[in-house]
Structure 1
């Protein structure tokens, strides 16, 4: 008998099920503020986060509403929870379809956030969709105001540190160079190139000796590998049990859950066993316009302190302190 779990292991599953609810909101110069942020220098802000199950969550506020925001590199845009915001009857259609998972939506509606502030960092004229995220909110037992995605993160060098539970955002120029100096006290020990497919970080790597293509998604609570992957790669997946995942629409899918071994991205960047789900990636590849063999999520960030530079299309790895 299969065990039923309600974890939203990939946020894109939720968006796919609720795609018809997508609209967009205008804040009319009302800023979004993230509490407990620390100014490192003129261009860098460090924000502590908490883990809600396996999701990276920061605290923030919009006007008089206080709540949580999920950091999700797999989301194309900033997304706000319709449950907490008034919806205006006048909305205009987007001139083009939204890329990524939201490309599955015909004629989505949009407006613009005039100003978003993260302490001393201000963004202007950024699009934000509104979706009913109540299913995530109830499942995770938190007040979810929204999700911070690619269209916000791409203008920064993003250091996600699960060792210290903090995220550092450093403003970059058009070439991807950080505007501030001496941002990191920690030592960068390695780096890796990636390709940006629309908003998806795509990494070439290996499972054992087999070439595979991964997407990197901080909103994925568990890794995923495609059940149609090469059998020589699949032999490094050790299933533990069958589980039923409860999606946003209430539908349940049965998948194999276990540990994935022998993942490496280069001769020097490799991983211990990672919690992984074996499932179909057909819908995600279709929506993202990619051809991924797998998705690296929480376990990737738990094992590697990583800096993401979207402009340079490069990952940098910070040294983990030796544990005695």
Structure 2
């Protein structure tokens, strides 16, 4: 039986959290970032399997950060950043790419510097991510989630392997009008449930609710989805998947057909796994029929605007 290591949203558990205030927090630097203007920066990324990973440096440590819209917070790997003060204990739910991690701590970040962009007074979770490092064979410093991305218009471009961040005002209007060389060809409204991007879509003509997650290496559909939608999931094989906690589950993998978000926004068959999303739905407080991840971004060059709750799309170049 084929065995894969993938980052997939599987479970959510309660974690004990301790607040820790750092005495000194040097900035996190992205040495390969390109500043386009005072409000816009472009960061190249690499794909590690199907994860979007940017290179960064913090406290003289060089490593990688995963870009994860499914994660609520900025997360630092306790393997590399293990200084905290264990007090002010509380209980919380871990979520996102790290949904199943057992124990986390919080750390107050005075300043997060993105090649001239400053994110001030941010709280980061400190969690052991060693199993992801082992599975992906990378030095992983942390995960960049919603708490960092929400104040920016985020262009995820799998064609050029780069992410562009543009500062927006409180209504979501970009502070610069000279950002994209390509033309925006379409847009779509979404609903923000806490930190989860929820999209109303269709499988054939059956209405479904998708979550959008840059760190979902495979699309996922819920086992309890309506049979009229499930009919368009064509299973190909059974896989063993290791979740973020190292727990292994068996799933059906195949192709999902006839997915569309509206009449003019549709997708070719997408590699998808059939799994149980009930625990994730309970944790996130939203009933999702599926998760759209890498396969979505591979077909759509996508701009996310959290303030406006809107997605914009730029066409892939036509190959001649």
Instruction: Give the TM-score category using the shorter length.
Output: over 0.9
CA contact (8 A) 2:19 2:86 kept: no
- TM-score when scaled to structure 1? 0.92
Q: Which of 270, 277, 281 lines up with 1:281 in the alignment?
A: 277
- Show the counterpart of 1:220: 216
- Show the counterpart of 1:61: 57
Q: 1:82 to 1:105 in 2, by over 3 A?
A: closer
Aligned-partner Cα distance in 2 for 1:114–1:280: 39
CA contact (8 A) 1:78 1:129 kept: yes
Partner deviation per Cα, 1:121-167 (whole Å, 9 max, x = no partner)? 10100010011000000000000000000000000000000000000
Q: Which of 101, 106, 113 lines up with 2:109 in the alignment?
A: 113
Q: Which of 247, 263, 280 lines up with 1:251 in the alignment?
A: 247
Q: 1:260 to 1:105 in 2, by over 3 A?
A: closer
Corresponding residue SS for 2:181: coil
Q: Which runs of 4+ in 1 moved over 3 A?
A: 19-27, 96-109
Q: 1:72 to 1:117 in 2, by over 3 A?
A: same
Q: Is 1:47 the equivalent of 2:43?
A: yes
Partner deviation per Cα, 1:240-284 (whole Å, 9 max, x = no partner)? 011111234443211100011100001111001111000110111
CA contact (8 A) 2:74 2:147 kept: yes
- Show the counterpart of 1:29: 25
Partner deviation per Cα, 1:79-100 (whole Å, 9 max, x = no partner)? 0100001323444335x84585
Shift of the alpha carbon at 1:29? 3.3
- Give unmatched runs, 5+ long, in structure 1: none
Bigger shift: residues 299-308 or 27-36: 27-36
- Give unmatched runs, 5+ long, in structure 2: none
Q: 1:152 to 1:239 in 2, by over 3 A?
A: same
- TM-score when scaled to structure 2? 0.93
Q: Which has the higher strand share?
A: 2
- Show the counterpart of 1:146: 142
- Show the counterpart of 2:182: 186
